[in-house]
A = this chain, B = another copy of it.
Amino acid sequence: MITVLRLGHRHYRDQRLTTHVALTARALGAEKVILSGEKDDKILESVSDIASRWGGKFDIDYEKNYKKVIDNFKGKKVHLTMYGMPVQDKISEIRKEKDTDLLVIVGSEKVPGDIYHAVDYNISVANQPHSEVAALAIFLHEYFMGKELSKDFSGAKITLKPSERGKDFVSK
Q: Check if A122 sits within 8 Å of B165, measured CB to CB.
A: yes
Q: How far is the CB of A138 from chain B (nearest CB, A)?
A: 5
Mask, A135-172, CB within 8 Å of B = 1, is 11110010000101111010000011111111110000
CB-CB under 8 A for A127 and B162, given A28-B134, A138-B137:
yes
Interface residue? A124 (CB, 8 A): yes
Q: Check if A134 sits within 8 Å of B24, measured CB to CB.
A: yes
Interface residue? A54 (CB, 8 A): yes
Residues of A within 8 A of B (CB): 13-14, 16-17, 20-21, 23-24, 26-28, 50, 54, 82-89, 113, 116-117, 122, 124-131, 133-138, 141, 146, 148-151, 153, 159-168
Q: Which 7 A-B pairs have the closest CB atoms?
A: A134-B137, A20-B131, A27-B130, A27-B128, A127-B160, A133-B133, A23-B130
Number of copies of this kind of chain in the complex: 2
Task: Specify which of B83, B125, B159 is in contact with A168 (CB 8 Å cutoff).
Answer: B83
Chain B residues near A116: list those with CB within 8 A.
Answer: 165-166
